């Protein structure tokens, strides 16, 4: 990747263009993420209308995540080759008709098929990451990618906007409003974004050659980390509204508001994660993120439990379980940790693979997105099988264990050995 020269970075026109690109790209990504997470809210009335079980609901919410993940690698490659401006504009334009048509779906298979096309919006991440990074000098790329990644907060925006439209006009109005917002975003992006031919990477490499990067154990490890901090974030952002409704009996608007306590910091604070990763390094930030996740998920995993103790005065029943306030506070902490983690994983990538950020970020983004696709289905299957809602957190707890052990043996222990 041709990194901008210090002289170019000081050029006022270049700097102005760089910030303009960062702002409109972040706006576009926020709207794309809002659309991508749409089923997290409108899926609840659809579930009721179609009488779906938890596994079917998990598949419904996960369908957009599937295509949004699968297109990430080719989109990363095309961004390297053709430039982020044109690729992002085409992507935004393609999603508008699919979002609009969603409002007319009536059968389960309609939602699954249209969801696949709407899911293209999720690919915006691997377009914007290399596009934005190349406008900034190396020492500020972590921050720039962190700010762009804050577009994940579109998951929270969806939880604020969709319930209001849903209650006032019915769920069918949500896709129509979102299609109009996406069209407006496309116009703004095209007007205020820029292209720089110097940022293009000549690429004669085939798609299959790019996937060979998966043989690199470091790439596999970053895929595992990202499947937690991003895949877990996507999965829980889709799952939390109906979790609140089912577990605590809340109204959909209140449930969406509380679920946003996880989604909002999980998106907005990604920028701070980028700054921390630039300052302290990707390894330190990721290590602490995994430990905080491990503690939060351990506590969140505990199901609502009543147990009877035989005392001298007769049997006494005790209750153990998280109330809605403690549960929401733990989810907020988890959201903050994962926001930092999403930025730190991409700092690893910009440090280790400066020449092909687009390709590697596409592969790691694909792994994260596939986590976001598989996990909601597994959440639903586990709930149908066990009848325990918190089984979703038990699963995530196990995944974090794997990453902690992997990181300990490949980074922490190796560093200690080298120090001695």
pLDDT tens readout for residues 80-131: 888 889 999 999 999 999 999 999 999 999 999 999 999 999 889 888 888 8
pLDDT tens readout for residues 355-380: 767 678 778 888 888 899 999 999 99
For residue 399, the SS3 value is helix
Q: Which residue has better confidence, 346 or 297?
A: 297
* 382 pLDDT more than 60: yes
User: For 247, how many CA atoms within 13 A lie in the half-sphere containing its CB?
Assistant: 28
E-assigned strand segments in 254-335: 305-311, 314-320
Residue 198 counted as domain residue: no
* 9 pLDDT more than 80: no
Instruction: Give the pLDDT score at 94.
Output: 94
Could you tell me the two tokens for 343?
A: 């930025």
Residue 200 counted as domain residue: no
Q: Which CATH number covers residue 257?
A: 1.20.1250.20
What does pLDDT average to over the chain? 86
Lowest mean pLDDT among 7-11, 19-23, 168-172, 322-326: 7-11
Spatial CA neighbour of 47 closest among 59, 35, 64, 31: 59
Cβ neighbours of 151 (radius 10 Å): 25
pLDDT tens readout for residues 24-38: 999 999 999 999 989
Domain that holds residue 157: 6-192+206-419
Q: Which residue has better confidence, 258 or 269?
A: 258
* 333 pLDDT more than 90: yes
Instruction: Give the pLDDT score at 146.
Output: 78
Could you tell me the two tokens for 57?
A: 């609901």
In the block, residue with structure tokens 């921050």: 143
Residue 169 counted as domain residue: yes
Long-range contacts of 103-110 (CB under 8 A, 24+ apart): 103/172, 103/173, 103/174, 103/175, 103/176, 104/172, 107/50, 108/50, 108/52, 108/56, 108/60
Q: Average pLDDT for residues 394-401, to the nearest whole number?
A: 93
Q: Which residues on adjacent β-strands are paired with residue 314?
A: 311
Residue 222 counted as domain residue: yes
**How many independent structural domains does the chain possess?**
1
In the block, residue with structure tokens 């809605």: 324
For residue 320, the SS3 value is strand
* 6 pLDDT more than 50: no
* 1 pLDDT more than 60: no
Instruction: Give the pLDDT score at 5.
Output: 43
* 4 pLDDT more than 60: no
Q: Which residue has better confidence, 304 or 13?
A: 304
Exposed (0-12), middle (13-18) or buried (19+): which is 112, by Cβ within 10 Å? middle
Instruction: Give the pLDDT score at 211.
Output: 67
Residue 197 counted as domain residue: no
Residue 283 counted as domain residue: yes
Residue 356 counted as domain residue: yes
Q: How many residues does the chain have?
A: 420
Separation CA 360–CA 366 (nearest Å): 10
Q: Average pLDDT for residues 266-277, to the nearest whole number?
A: 81
pLDDT tens readout for residues 223-263: 889 999 989 988 998 899 999 999 899 998 999 999 988 88
SS (H, E, C) 138-149: HHHHHHHHHHHH
* CA terminus-to-terminus distance, the chain: 36
For residue 314, the SS3 value is strand
Q: Which residues on adjacent β-strands are paired with residue 315?
A: 310
């Amino acid at each position: 990747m041709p990194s901008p020269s210090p002289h170019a970075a000081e050029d006022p026109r270049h700097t102005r263009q760089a910030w303009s690109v960062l702002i409109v790209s972040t706006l576009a990504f926020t709207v794309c993420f809002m659309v991508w997470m749409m089923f997290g809210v409108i899926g609840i009335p659809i579930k009721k209308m179609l009488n779906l079980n938890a596994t079917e609901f998990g598949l419904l919410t996960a369908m957009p995540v599937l295509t949004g993940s699968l297109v990430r690698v080719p989109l990363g490659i095309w961004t390297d080759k053709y430039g982020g401006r044109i690729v992002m504009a085409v992507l935004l334009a393609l999603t508008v008709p699919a979002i609009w048509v969603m409002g007319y779906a009536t059968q389960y298979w309609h939602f699954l098929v249209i969801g696949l096309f709407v899911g293209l919006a999720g690919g915006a991440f691997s377009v914007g990451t290399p596009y934005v990074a190349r406008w900034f000098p190396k020492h500020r790329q972590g921050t720039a990618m962190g700010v762009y990644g804050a577009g994940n907060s579109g998951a929270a925006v969806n939880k604020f906007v969709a319930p209001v439209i849903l209650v006032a006009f019915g769920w069918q109005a949500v896709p129509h409003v979102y299609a109009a917002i996406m069209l407006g975003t496309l116009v703004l992006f095209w007007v205020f974004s820029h292209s720089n031919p110097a940022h293009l990477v000549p690429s004669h490499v085939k798609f299959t050659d790019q996937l060979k990067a998966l043989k690199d154990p470091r790439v596999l490890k970053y895929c595992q980390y990202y499947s937690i901090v991003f895949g877990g974030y996507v999965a829980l952002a889709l799952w939390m509204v109906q979790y609140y409704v089912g577990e605590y009996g809340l109204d959909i608007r209140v449930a969406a508001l509380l679920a946003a306590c996880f989604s909002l910091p999980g998106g907005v604070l990604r920028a701070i994660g980028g700054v921390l990763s630039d300052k302290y390094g990707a390894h330190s930030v990721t290590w602490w993120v995994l430990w905080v996740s491990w503690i939060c998920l351990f506590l969140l995993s505990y199901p609502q439990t009543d147990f009877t103790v035989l005392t001298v005065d007769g049997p006494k029943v005790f209750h153990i379980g998280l109330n809605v306030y403690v549960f929401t506070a733990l989810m907020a902490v988890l959201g903050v940790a994962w926001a930092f983690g999403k930025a730190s994983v991409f700092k690893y990538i910009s440090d280790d693979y400066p020449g092909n950020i687009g390709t590697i970020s596409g592969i790691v983004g694909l792994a994260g997105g596939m986590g976001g696709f598989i996990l909601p289905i597994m959440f639903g299957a586990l709930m149908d099988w066990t009848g325990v809602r918190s089984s979703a957190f038990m699963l995530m707890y196990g995944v974090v264990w794997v990453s902690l052990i992997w990181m300990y043996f490949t980074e922490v222990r190796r560093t200690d050995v080298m120090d001695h």
